[in-house]
Amino acid sequence: MVLLLIYFHFVIQVLSEAPPVMPQHILFDNWQLTWTPATEETTVNYTVMYRSFDSTHWNDIPYCKQIYSTYCNVTSMKTKAEHACVMLGVRAERLGLKSDPAIACSKQGNSCSPEVGLSVRPGSLTLHISRKSGITQEGYHVKHRIYFGKEGEPLEALDDDAVSSVSIDNLTEGKRYCASVQYTYFNIPVGLGSCPKCETIPQSRPPSKQTEITVAIVLLFVIVILVIVYILLYQRKRIKGWLQTSNKIPVPVFIDFPDLSRVPISSKTPNEDICDITRMDFRGL
């Protein structure tokens, strides 16, 4: 029993000396900030803070300081945010111990937060980024920093900041990936990043039977065309030779007629011949 009391005393002492855990899921939506406690401790309160993009110092928002609720309206920051695109965060506090600020994300696009849409296809995910008015008017110095990774894992920034929409390839089909985008100005993060959006990479569909038949017909047609082209280009002489052989004119056969100039021609008429024969007959009698 004594050991159990000592153990509980030690645990309570350790907990009282450790800073509280940062709150989770800090969401900014229409100037309303909400978050989720990381633990069920009732002695933890929260302070909402802001920071301009060109500073590393966090400032408390007075009316959102050391509150026990898990939401706060930050409309009073609207003017400051529109001019400086501030970042917002929430810090947990307990007995004078403070956690690091957990940075909020924006559920909707605005002049200081990009609006992002996702589309997927087998092996690929595309981020569609809308460039609205506001900070984007600063020109080519404004880019988009993309944080990307598998769902459930920390999102990591891609190597290069993007100017417009981006496609990410060679992704595992069937896996779920998430992405968040934040504006940068001269490579410095500005404003709130978009809240992570996630999509599952679809599986490639096997080709249907109709597709296979169509592909086979197309391939056959291509092969026939190639054969015809080959014959016309490389077998033209042989074809001409075949055609010339089949169209040869046969050598004419000439008949030798007798030389009529050498045949004796009688000057007597047929009647005179008959008379001569008749005379010879009578003389014989």
Q: What is the pLDDT of residues 170-186, one digit of tens each?
A: 999 999 999 999 998 88
- pTM for this prediction: 0.63
Angle ∠(173,175,179) on CA atoms, nearest 5: 110
Same fold? 19-106, 115-200? yes
115-200, superfamily in CATH? Immunoglobulins (2.60.40.10)
Residues of the chain scoring pLDDT < 70: 1-16, 81-83, 131-140, 206-208, 240, 242-285
How far is residue 110 CA from its own chain's centroid?
26
Residue 164 has a pLDDT of: 85
- Domain 19-106, CATH: 2.60.40.10
CB 110 within 8 A of CB 98: no
CB 144 within 8 A of CB 182: yes
Q: Give the C-alpha separation, 279 to 283, whole Å.
A: 6
Residue 184 burial by Cβ neighbours in a 10 Å radius (0-12, 13-18, 19+) = buried
Residue 262 has a pLDDT of: 58
Residue 11 has a pLDDT of: 46
Q: Where are the domains of the chain?
A: 19-106, 115-200
